[in-house]
């Protein structure tokens, strides 16, 4: 298993997922450790000289004008962690907690935070040995960073609070003992602040969400193709020429994906063959799917910047012009806006997927398919309530898409008078994505039923592979049965990436997401 080396500058989204989801081991680079030592020495010198410096020899927030003696510095940091551990609600998943721990370690390894190497080592050991703090998901304002969630993480480092070890919830001290990790005896000056003053909770949630959303966009294109075949959809709207004269990357790539996936299909049509135009949910799918892809690319870029950023306060700048500067890098606004955008974009995928589902089940819109895709309708309800369920999720997403970032409630006696609510935005985006995945699972299940009822002919090279794996796991529905099980199976095919994998294998290339526009050679020659 590959080891992920962190240095504060080069962590990728793939690295993060490999550590968070697949338990890849982590190590700090030697150069990074040297940088950490340099900044730590500066902190020690300030404490020894009893200089006034925010968060090192002062209180926090509104208490920034309260001086703290050299003898009280350690107690100050421990008090900070205990008093700020005010998270509530359900615990974050272990993979999100792991992502949060990795991101915090990576930020600290840049060498601008003043942490001790031994403190950083405990955090890395917890990652590598699978000690996962219990971190409640609610309680962060997203400025001064994710104070409450990160405090719960640090509790475990001190042998306080609760953690999960090998799937069992227990006291942190017991988890650390079982894993063979010695908890920190104390937090030195600034260390508590360095560990919790940052955006790592919201970034962890958002990073895992964007990673899964990218796979989901590939699945959405596959689902679109199966629906087009179920409805004898017109492929002319996917013509390269149409999408080159409005050259948004996502739009172009979506149209290209569709033509590749349905290549060779006997169930799609051309304009004028069966009808002149399709409804927007088919004809405008490159524009809609494409816009979502473009939004995801923007968010992904923002996340990758944040993953390798210093987000605590104050920031220690070693060197000839040594300086400690109090700034606002902990403010989550760059992430808050991005995650609200992500949620809005993803909700559109559920919107259009449900409309395509409705076209298949509604006899007034399905171009000849039986009502609700079942024989003996009336006795059988078929896919009637599948559409109900999809509509419910779409409606819920519309509520969740209200931006969190437009809200702000001042805190710390108005010292912190504007906050981002970025962590709420990230959690909402995650919830929206979960709903979208379910809706697309419903569309997949519905589309293969419609294909069978249409009288299945040869499908496209990619859609045939998709159809086969869905039918390998779910049966044709000739009479009413318990439907949620089949929906869950289709969702699992998405979660496990099996659907994308079989289609990409059939295509012998990856489904496009963010690739630059490349017209076909034939068209290029004519332009």
For residue 64, what is the domain's CATH number?
A: 1.10.275.10
Domain end position, chosen among 198, 227, 252? 198
Q: How confident is the model at residue 522 (pLDDT cuts 50, 70, 90)?
A: low
Of 54, 211, 280, 298, catalytic: 54
pLDDT (tens digit per residue) in 190-219: 999 999 999 999 999 999 999 999 999 999
Average pLDDT over residues 411-440: 94
User: How many domains in the chain?
Assistant: 2
- The DSSP annotation for 257-296 comes to HHHHHTTT-SS-B-TTTS-S---HHHHTHHHHHHHHHHHH
Q: In the prediction, which pLDDT does 81 show?
A: 96
Rounded average pLDDT over 21-28 = 98
Which two structure tokens, joined as six digits, stand for 476? 């044709």
Domain check: are 392 and 450 in the same one?
yes
Token look-up 């993953």 returns 307
Local confidence band at 520 (pLDDT 50, 70, 90 cut-offs):
confident
For residues 390 and 473, state if they share a domain: yes
Q: What is the mean pLDDT of the chain?
A: 96
Phi and psi angles of residue 405, each rounded to the nearest 5 degrees, phi first: -70, -15
Contacts (Cβ under 8 Å, ≥6 apart) of 153: 97, 100, 101, 104, 133, 135, 195, 196
pLDDT of residue 527: 55
Q: Taking 70 as the threshold, does the pLDDT of residue 523 lie above it?
A: no
Overall average pLDDT of the 221-232 stretch:
98
Average pLDDT over residues 323-346: 96
**pLDDT at res. 417:** 87
Mark whether 364 and 448 lie in a shared domain. Answer: yes
Mean pLDDT within 313-339: 93
**Whether residue 429 is found in the same domain as residue 342:** yes
Quick one: 231 and 193 in the same domain? Answer: no
Region for 166 from its dihedrals, namely left if φ exceeds 0, alpha if ψ lies in -120 to 50, beta otherwise: left
pLDDT beyond 70 at 298: yes
Q: Which of 21-30, 471-480, 518-527 has the lowest mean pLDDT?
A: 518-527
Question: Is the same domain home to 214 and 102?
Answer: no
pLDDT digits (tens, 9 = 90+) for 312-321: 999 999 988 8
54 carries an active-site annotation:
yes
Q: Is the pLDDT confidence value at 264 over 90?
A: yes
Over range 385-409, report the average pLDDT. 97
pLDDT tops 70 at residue 526 = no
171 with 246, same domain: the answer is no
Question: How is 471-518 classified by DSSP, letter by letter?
Answer: HHHS---SS----HHHHHHHHHHHHTTHHHHHHHHHHTSPPPSSPPP-
Q: Are residues 120 and 228 in the same domain?
A: no
Among residues 198, 223, 249, the one where a domain terminates is 198
Residues 137 and 212 in one domain: no
CB-CB contact of 223 with 440 (8 Å): yes
Quote the percentage of the chain above a pLDDT of 70: 99
Asked if 118 and 10 sit in the same domain, the reply is: yes
Q: What angle do CA 40, 45, 51 make, to 5 degrees?
A: 120
For range 406-410, the mean pLDDT: 93
**Residue 461: CATH number of its domain:** 1.20.200.10
pLDDT score for 281: 97
Model confidence over 153-188: pLDDT tens digits?
999 999 999 999 999 999 999 999 999 999 999 999
Cβ contact 5:82 at 8 Å: no
Q: Please tell me what DSSP assigns to residue 175.
A: H
Task: Inform me whether the pLDDT recorded for 251 exceeds 90.
Answer: yes
**CA gap 518, 53 in Å, rounded:** 55
CB atoms within 10 A of CB 399: 10
SS3 169: strand
pLDDT digits (tens, 9 = 90+) for 56-93: 888 887 888 888 888 898 999 999 999 999 999 999 99
- Looking at the fold, whether 168 and 235 belong to one and the same domain comes out as no
Average pLDDT rounded to a whole number, residues 378-396:
98
The percentage of the chain sitting over the pLDDT mark of 90, rounded to a whole number, equals 90
State how far the Cα of 157 lies from the Cα of 286, in Å rounded to an integer: 49
Query: Which pLDDT score, from 0 to 100, does residue 215 have?
Result: 96
Owning domain of residue 246: 207-526
Quote the pLDDT of residue 112. 96
- Residue ending a domain, among 198, 229, 245, is 198
Mean per-residue pLDDT, 483-507: 98
191 & 299 share domain: no
Q: Is the pTM of this model over 0.85?
A: yes
């Amino acid at each position: 298993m590959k080891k992920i080396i962190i240095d504060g500058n080069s962590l990728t989204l793939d690295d993060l997922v490999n550590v968070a989801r697949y338990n890849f081991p982590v190590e700090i680079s030697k150069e990074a450790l040297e940088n950490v030592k340099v900044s730590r020495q500066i902190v020690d010198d300030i404490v020894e000289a009893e200089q006034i410096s925010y968060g090192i020899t002062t209180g926090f927030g509104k208490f920034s004008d309260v001086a703290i003696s050299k003898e009280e510095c350690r107690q100050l940091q421990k008090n900070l962690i205990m008093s700020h551990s005010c998270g509530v609600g359900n615990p974050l998943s272990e993979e999100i907690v792991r992502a949060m721990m990795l991101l915090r370690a990576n930020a600290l390894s840049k060498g601008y935070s003043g942490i001790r190497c031994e403190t950083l080592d405990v955090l890395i050991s917890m990652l590598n040995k699978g000690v996962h703090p219990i971190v409640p998901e609610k309680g962060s304002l997203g400025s001064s960073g994710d104070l409450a969630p990160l405090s719960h993480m640090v509790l475990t480092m001190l042998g306080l609070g609760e953690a999960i070890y090998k799937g069992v919830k227990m006291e942190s001290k017991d988890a650390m003992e079982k894993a063979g990790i010695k908890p920190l005896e104390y937090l030195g000056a600034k260390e508590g602040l360095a560990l919790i003053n940052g955006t790592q909770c919201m970034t962890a949630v958002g990073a895992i969400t964007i990673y899964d959303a990218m796979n989901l966009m590939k699945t959405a294109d596959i689902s679109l193709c199966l629906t087009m075949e179920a409805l004898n959809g017109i492929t002319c709207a996917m013509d390269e020429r149409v999408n080159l004269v409005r050259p948004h990357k996502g739009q172009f790539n979506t149209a290209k994906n569709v033509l590749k996936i349905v290549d060779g299909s006997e169930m799609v049509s051309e304009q004028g063959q069966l009808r002149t135009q399709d409804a927007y949910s088919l004809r405008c799918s490159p524009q809609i799917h494409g816009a979502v892809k473009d939004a995801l690319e923007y968010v992904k870029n923002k996340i990758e910047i944040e993953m390798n950023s210093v987000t605590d306060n104050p920031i220690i700048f070693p060197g000839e012009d040594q300086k400690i500067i109090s700034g606002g890098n902990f403010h989550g606004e760059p992430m808050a806006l991005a995650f609200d955008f992500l949620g809005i974009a993803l909700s559109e995928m559920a919107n259009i997927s449900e409309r395509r589902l409705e076209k298949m089940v509604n006899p007034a819109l399905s171009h000849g398919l039986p009502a609700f895709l079942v024989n003996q309708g009336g006795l059988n309800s078929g896919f009637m309530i599948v559409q109900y369920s999809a509509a419910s999720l779409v409606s819920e997403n519309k509520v969740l898409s209200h931006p969190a970032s437009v809200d702000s409630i001042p805190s710390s006696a108005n010292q912190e008078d504007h906050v981002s609510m970025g962590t709420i935005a990230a959690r909402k985006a995650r919830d929206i994505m979960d709903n979208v995945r379910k809706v697309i699972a419903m569309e997949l299940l519905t589309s293969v039923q419609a294909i069978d009822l249409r009288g299945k002919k040869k499908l496209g090279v990619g859609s045939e592979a998709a159809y086969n794996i869905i039918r390998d796991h779910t049966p044709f529905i000739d009479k009413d049965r318990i439907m949620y099980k089949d929906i869950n199976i289709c969702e699992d095919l998405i979660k496990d990436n099996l659907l994308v994998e079989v289609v990409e294998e059939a295509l012998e290339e990856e489904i496009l997401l963010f690739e630059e526009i490349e017209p076909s050679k034939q068209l290029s020659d004519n332009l």
